[in-house]
Amino acid sequence: MLAYGIGVLSRSTYPVALTSSWQEAAPQKKRASLRRKAIATAVPSHKWDRTTSRCVELSTVAFIVLLMPQVVKNYISMTTGHAEALMVLSWVGYLTSLFGNVLLLGCFVDKQEGGATAVQAIGAAANYVMLAQIWLAGLMPSVAFVPLTALMTSAAVVNACKFCGAMNSGLGKNLWRGWQDFLGLLGIAMLPQAIWATCSKHHTMVPAYTASVVAVTYLVMARRQQLPEQLQGLWKDIPAWTATLLFMFQPVAQSVSNFSNPSTLEGVSMASLLLGMLGNGLMVPRALFTGDKIWFIGVGWGPLTGWVQLLSLYVAYGVTGVRYLSGFWFSVLTTLLVSISYIVLRLDSQAKGLQFPLQSVQGLFRKQSEPQYIERTM
């Protein structure tokens, strides 16, 4: 699917940036007409739109394959009387992942991104099933699992209603706004708490409580229009940012552990690592095409940290004196990652009528003036 669009420039016409001298000479209306005509005839944005959507849909397969084996393994352990095998699973870690899924689910439902919504729904469901198994094994307190069940039920109902268009006006619109505010508070409370729990052995809820107080204060002041204008609109992106940062923070600890204590590499599953890179990588084109900066950072972080873990496998040696990952396979995977990244950037820039591949990424982080084009016959 990524091969589509490489031959766009072989058409009889292609977009070429106007020189400054030609721009000054051409009438304004004629330049605008030529620009619209060039973009409409030479850039297959509608096809790239469809292709990126298909990529997101394919990513669901990778995540299902990634998540299901552990669920099946837990089920077998419990039905054969070996529930203690689930003790190696951290329910706090799965809970954090589930909260991240719920936060992003609301964001993608609001944007009507069907493929991304399915990915987050599958992730939330799989993490909830995992937590239910841990709870049934007596390894998760009911005081945490019961409220979680209520949250999952509410999330399923609210997001389904919003996705079907039942919360676009009147009371439904107000309910959706309240749900988004709740997700924002949840994300702000979870992020510092997750970082504290990872970096410190001392258990405390102070980070979550402190962040919640700050968030509530901000929300009240924003509703009363008591904040500076540049701070007034920040809240709408809070759920997406906190969920993205939660997901970004999780593999960092694993990467640091890999380099500082190579013996932990014995437990690294190459299949799981590659599936995670593939699932996130398949969503990169859509995030780039839609101009969603937060989504792009989140899914782009997956392949990047995956490559860092591949590097740790390459530089470390096992007890037999052999590298965990041979130089040949590390080179192949690195070349593949770089090549696909370039192809995606190139196709996206062509679909948007841009001259250089990196302009697609630059457009996410700064406002650019609209490029000027003329139609040139070969």
- The structure's pTM equals 0.74
Please check the confidence at residue 204 and state whether its pLDDT lies above 90.
no
Q: Based on the structure, what is the number of domains in the chain?
A: 1
pLDDT digits (tens, 9 = 90+) for 24-69: 444 555 555 545 544 443 447 888 999 999 999 899 898 888 888 8
Which 3 state secondary structure label does DSSP give 135? helix
Tell me whether residue 86 is in a domain: yes
Tell me whether residue 310 is in a domain: yes
Report the alpha-carbon distance of residue 32 to residue 373 in Å, rounded: 9
pLDDT value for 28: 57
Tell me whether residue 14 is in a domain: no
pLDDT value for 278: 94
Tell me whether residue 232 is in a domain: yes
DSSP letter string over 248-273?
HHHHHHHHHHHHH-GGGGGG--HHHH
Tell me whether residue 3 is in a domain: no
pLDDT value for 19: 39
Please check the confidence at residue 227 and state whether its pLDDT lies above 90.
no
How crowded is residue 184: how many other Cβ atoms within 10 Å of its Cβ? 24
pLDDT-derived band at 377 (thresholds 50, 70, 90) equals very low
Tell me whether residue 301 is in a domain: yes
Tell me whether residue 30 is in a domain: no
Contacts of 111 (CB under 8 A, 6+ apart): 290, 292
pLDDT digits (tens, 9 = 90+) for 231-277: 767 777 888 888 888 888 877 777 777 787 787 777 677 888 899 89
Contacts of 16 (CB under 8 A, 6+ apart): 373, 374, 376
Tell me whether residue 21 is in a domain: no
Please check the confidence at residue 296 and state whether its pLDDT lies above 90.
yes
The percent of residues in the chain predicted with pLDDT above 70, rounded, is: 84
How crowded is residue 305: how many other Cβ atoms within 10 Å of its Cβ? 21
| Range from 68-82, 132-146, 286-300 carrying the lowest mean pLDDT | 68-82
pLDDT value for 27: 54
Query: Residue 185's domain spans which residues?
Result: 45-373
Which 3 state secondary structure label does DSSP give 137? coil
User: Which tops the pLDDT comparison, 155 or 259?
Assistant: 155
Per-range mean pLDDT, top range of 79-93, 162-176, 306-320, 322-336 = 322-336
